[in-house]
Amino acid sequence: FTSFLHLPGTSEEVAPPLQQNFMIPKKEINMVSDMAKWKRSQAYADYMGFILTLNEGVRGKKLTCEYKVSEPIEKLVALLNTLDRWIDETPPVDQPSRFGNKAFRTWYAKLDQEAEKLVATVIPKHLADAAPEVAVYLKESVGNSTRIDYGTGHEAAFAAFLCCLCKIGVLRVDDQMAIVFKVFNRYLEVMRKLQKTYRMEPAGSQGVWGLDDFQFLPFIWGSSQLIDHPNLEPRHFVDEKVVNENHKDFMFLECILFITEMKTGPFAEHSNQLWNISAVPSWSKVNQGLIRMYKAE
């Protein structure tokens, strides 16, 4: 991540147009043997490098702390605000089945149609050719319109979308905290609203054996935020009072709050993996364990 943000000879104002060729992405992982190819690829190295750089960037920092907000960050938030507004304009429809409201397809069709235009508002004119390629990741990041489901693969597409914006120089190294705290956090809010409004199914969920029905990255970055916290330990996140008092500062606790809003019954039963994590002695151990688990998943 850092390496392609410090391009030789670039200054803040004018980045020379890089000689980059853009193409519409297509699915490349089709069978089990392709996974090995993916893990050896530059794309995998870039993606994991991006996740881990941001993990370091937010270490010990609160969501509410001060950080630089650049123009591209503002534009990304505006893009997400547009998606949010479209949810308000597309109410759920009456239908017999409780889950997977078909109004999601109407909402998605709008994104499908407008995605390139939305991306074009974020990237500078000399990079306009990148919009069709980058837009595919945005479209993939909000769930599947056929199955009306959402899962960590969709979340990964959004992280890849942000990683692409770094690779073409739209986002820079000093945007790190804003990428997580402003853009990704806003993305999570919009996804939670989608999940609630259209009663989306979890995609590829391992049920009680998974970390969470819908997200993974905010648990990684959120546990990094809590490293060396003077009094919040992993055992505290199952305490409702602690969550209510601190969730605005920490992504991890925002996730816990959402789970408790959506699920009933004992926490240990509906979120067994997280319950187990609450027994880990330190946040840095939680963070390392989650990174290992993410790579495996």
Per-residue pLDDT of the chain (297 residues; tens, 9 = 90+): 445 444 444 444 445 555 678 999 999 999 999 999 999 999 999 999 999 999 999 999 999 999 999 999 999 999 999 999 999 999 999 999 999 999 999 999 999 999 999 999 999 999 999 999 999 999 999 999 999 999 999 999 999 999 999 999 999 999 999 999 999 999 999 999 999 999 999 998 777 778 999 999 999 999 999 999 999 999 999 999 999 999 999 999 999 999 999 999 999 999 999 999 999 999 999 999 999 999 998
d(CA 104, CA 112): 12
What pLDDT was estimated at residue 18? Answer: 55
Q: Which residues pair with 202 in a beta bridge?
A: 150
Asked whether 50 and 159 are in contact (CB, 8 A), the reply is: yes
d(CA 186, CA 180): 9
Q: Is 206 helix (H, G, I), strand (E, B) or coil?
A: coil
For residue 249 the two structure tokens come to: 């500062």
d(CA 138, CA 206): 25
DSSP state of 238: G
Which of 186-223 are b and which e, b meaning 16 or more Cβ less than 10 Å from the residue's Cβ? bbbebbbebbebbbbbbbebeeeebbbbbbbbbbbbbb
DSSP string, 70-136: -HHHHHHHHHHHHHHHHHHHSPPPP-SSSSS-THHHHHHHHHHHHHHHHHHTTS-GGGGGGHHHHHH
d(CA 106, CA 93): 10
The alpha carbon dihedral of 231, 232, 235, 240 has a sign of positive
Task: Write the single-letter amino acid at 178.
Answer: A
Name every residue whose Cβ is closer than 8 Å to that of residue 233 and which is 6 or more positions away in sequence.
Answer: 281, 282, 283
The alpha carbon dihedral of 82, 85, 86, 92 has a sign of positive
CATH superfamily membership of 216-296: Phosphotyrosyl phosphate activator, C-terminal lid domain (1.20.120.1150)
Domain boundaries, the chain: 68-91+99-202, 216-296
Phi-psi region of 252 (alpha: psi -120 to 50; beta: other; left: phi over 0): alpha
d(CA 277, CA 290): 9
> Where do we find the tokens 């089990």?
32
Other C-beta atoms lying within 10 Å of the C-beta of residue 99: 12
Asked whether 130 and 123 are in contact (CB, 8 A), the reply is: yes
